[in-house]
Structure formats: C-alpha cells, structure tokens
Amino acid sequence: MTLTSPAPLHSRIGVLPGDGIGPEVTREAVRVLERVAKHADLQLTFTEGMLGGCAIEQTGTPLPAETWELCKNSDALLVGAVGGEKWDSLPAEKNPGLGGLLRLRRELDLFANLRPGLSYLPELSPLRDVNIDILLVREAVGGLYFSPERGRGVQDGVETAWDTMHYTAEQVRRIGIVACRLASERGGRLASVDKANVLESSKLWREVMREVVADFPHLEVEHLYVDNCAMQLVHRPNDFDVIVTENLFGDVLSDEIAGIVGSLGLLPSGSLRTDKFGLYEPVHGAAPDIAGLGKANPSAAILSAAMLLRHSLDRPEDAAVIEQAVTTVLQRGIRTADLANGDIAPVSTSAFGDAVLAELDDQYHAAAVSATGHILST
C-alpha cells in the first residue's frame, strides 16, 4: 500500500531487539537487510536502542529517552519483542508491553497494524486443505489496551480491577478506510469483526464501518462477531481476504492465524501511519521458554524486514526477493524446531538465517545474470 512520498536513498533503521528471543531473531533480520542492501545498492544505517525489560534493567524505564530520540530520528524501526515474567506484572508505565511497545505504537500514532498470514507451505498447517492469504488489519492505538479508565482497588468491599474499551468514530473510520483500500488492491473481500451484539464500542465500530464500506461498493463485505470469526477462521480459512478489527480482537485473531499457518514464528507485521514511517516486528512475543537456545524461528522477523522494505523504503521488488527466499528455504526442508517433524532435523536460528542469505545471493545473482546475459559467455 502506498500512503505517501518516495523514501530517501539513505535510510536510517532504528533497531530495538528487546527481550527473550527478540535479539536472536532481530539479528537475522538485520543480516538479511544488510545483504539486500549490498545487492540492491541501498544505503542503510542501523542504530540499536533499548526497549522493554532490558531497558528497565539498564535505565529503570521500558522506553528510555534515548530510545525515543532514536525512534524520532529513524526512517523505520525494526523491533524484536518485549516482556518476560520478571516485568510483566509491573504497573502500566513500567510495563515492557504497555509502557514500552504499546506506548511507542501509540505515541508514534502507528494506527494501522498489518499482519499478513500466508500459507508459505500449506503442509505446515495443522489443518487440512489450508492455503490462506489473509491480511489482518488491526487498529493499534485505541481500544482496551489504551483504556482511559483502568485501575484496581476495593469497591464496596470487593477486590476489583477494570479496563475500558474506548473508540472514537474517527479512529474506526481511518482504520476502516485503510482496510477497504487494501481489500480493493487484493481479493476484494473484507470481514469487519466486532462484538456489536454486546459492546457499545463495537456498536459504534459496526455503524462507522457500514458508512465506510458504502464508499467501496465493489467490495464483498461481511460483518462478523469476533467469537464467530474465531470459529470461521478454522472452519473456512481459505475464504478470508482482509479482516479489519479493533486492537484486542486483532491481537488474539492474529495468533490464531499464525496457528493456522503453522507457527507464530511465521507471521510478520508492520505498524503504519499516513507517511512512510513504520514499525516492523514479528507477531510473536519474547518466547522465554526457548530464549537463548538458538531454537527460535527468525522467519517472522525476516519477513517483517521485507515489509519494512515494501512499505517504508519503496522497495517492493527487494521485499519480494526476501519473501521468496524464506519460502524456498522452508520448501527445501530447512526448518527450525517449531516446524520440524520426525523426518526433518531442526536447524538453529542462525543456520536458518544463513540459508536465507545464501538463497538471497542466488536470487540476486540469477537476476543479475539474466539482466546482463553474462551466463552465456561463461
């Protein structure tokens, strides 16, 4: 999707690896971008910053001022993941998720969180006959995660906690328009997901979405309650094209889509606004259960780097080369532990990255050869 002006020739990438497997998978994504830069004559500079639990340990806050400066002085951000048991129950401003990553998305107004779920290899799905190409469009700066009223206390003698789901019509409208435009560029089908039989915020969501889709009469539109959508995704996954939904529902449904594709390690994301700036990160979290073991699948991080090239740097061809390289490596049976089965011995995170780099070299070499005809003279 093109939202505005061309990217500069030299681009500054802010890298926030975060916690758990974040640094392991981000390292592979940076290696891939460096290799693409070499082949495709791109000038990229990478500057690393702290976000999340690692930042709390060093500075006492999940989003330190230096990180904020780095973000403001970058053309795009590559993020790993944040969080861990040690910090997850800290109060909002100290919490790696809420006070770190979510705050960053919100303060940078990165409202359009695109989460593509693609059957890179249909056989990886735990379901039969699945071949999906779903784009989940998640509203990312409103809703329950940014409750204007949240809290905990004793009310009428009863221990109580509360969060409030809050949306303005304008917040719904702008994400709705993005989703309709994307659906128009893709398969022409849109599912708007809410819980309008119960929630006031969802009643508004549905009313506004009905108004928005009226301007896109060529789209085939369905409005689904989120519980039904969760079921339909398993029942008829191939029927979905673009799904648009609010923040919490999108968070949950994107993990479900990852499960349908075959692993959380396969789903990338990009959080965009109306200029070229974007934040790119895997859908998965910090996975403390496998952190430091070299077991993490770096595909989601690498594919997020591809999204960065496509959406922030106007390099769709290079993005496609990365996506093809990841697909080819998976097809060759080179897989990390989350995707290996009895017949396939798993490779490490960095070995998977090496295989993607080798594939990139092959693809760029083949493209150069076919452009010059050089192969005929060797």
Ligand X SMILES: NC(=O)C1=CN([C@@H]2O[C@H](COP(=O)(O)OP(=O)(O)OC[C@H]3O[C@@H](n4cnc5c(N)ncnc54)[C@H](O)[C@@H]3O)[C@@H](O)[C@H]2O)C=CC1
Which residues does the annotation place in the binding site for substrate?
105, 115, 138, 227
Residues 6 or more apart in contact with residue 332 via CB below 8 angstroms: 355
User: Which residue among 251, 318, 338, 364 is the active-site one?
Assistant: 251
Q: How many whole angstroms separate alpha carbon 74 and alpha carbon 104?
A: 13
Q: Mark whether 109 is an active-site residue.
A: no
Q: Is 139 in the site for Mg ion (CB under 5 A)?
A: no
Binding to ligand X (CB under 6 A): which residues in 269-308?
A: 281, 284-290, 296-297, 300
5 Rama sector, left if φ>0, alpha if ψ -120 to 50, beta otherwise: beta
Residue list for the binding site for Mg(2+): 227, 251, 255
116-120: long-range pairs with CB below 8 Å, 24+: 116/267, 116/268, 116/269, 116/307, 117/254, 117/257, 117/258, 117/260, 117/261, 117/267, 118/261, 119/261, 119/262, 120/261, 120/266, 120/299, 120/326, 120/327, 120/330
Q: Is 283 in the site for ligand COI (CB under 6 A)?
A: yes
CB of 97 to ligand X, least distance (A): 5
DSSP state of 100: I
Q: Is 281 in the site for Mg ion (CB under 5 A)?
A: no
Binding to Mg ion (CB under 5 A): which residues in 224-253?
A: 251
Q: Is 48 in the site for ligand X (CB under 6 A)?
A: no
CB of 300 to ligand COI, least distance (A): 11
| Number of residues in contact with Mg ion under rule CB under 5 A | 1
What's the angle, vertex CA 110, arms to CA 19 and CA 36, rounded to 5? Answer: 65
- Of 241 and 251, nearer to ligand COI (C-beta) is 251
Tokens for 346, please give them.
């798993």
Q: Is 264 in the site for ligand X (CB under 6 A)?
A: yes
DSSP code per residue over 253-284: HHHHHHHHHT-GGG-EEEEE-SSS-EEEEESS
User: Which residue among 38, 72, 215, 227 is the active-site one?
Assistant: 227
CB of 151 to ligand X, least distance (A): 20
Q: Is 318 in the site for Mg ion (CB under 5 A)?
A: no
Q: Is 139 in the site for ligand COI (CB under 6 A)?
A: no
**φ/ψ (deg, to 5) at 302:** -65, -40
CB of 142 to ligand COI, least distance (A): 13
User: Which residue among 19, 75, 194, 195 is the active-site one?
Assistant: 195
Q: Coil, strand or helix: which one is 375?
A: helix
Residue list for the binding site: 105, 115, 138, 227, 251, 255
Residues 6 or more apart in contact with residue 252 via CB below 8 angstroms: 226, 230
Q: Interface with ligand COI by CB under 6 A: which residues?
A: 97, 101-102, 251, 283, 285
Q: Interface with ligand X by CB under 6 A: which residues?
A: 21, 25, 81-84, 88, 97, 101, 264-265, 281, 284-290, 296-297, 300, 338
Q: Interface with Mg ion by CB under 5 A: which residues?
A: 251
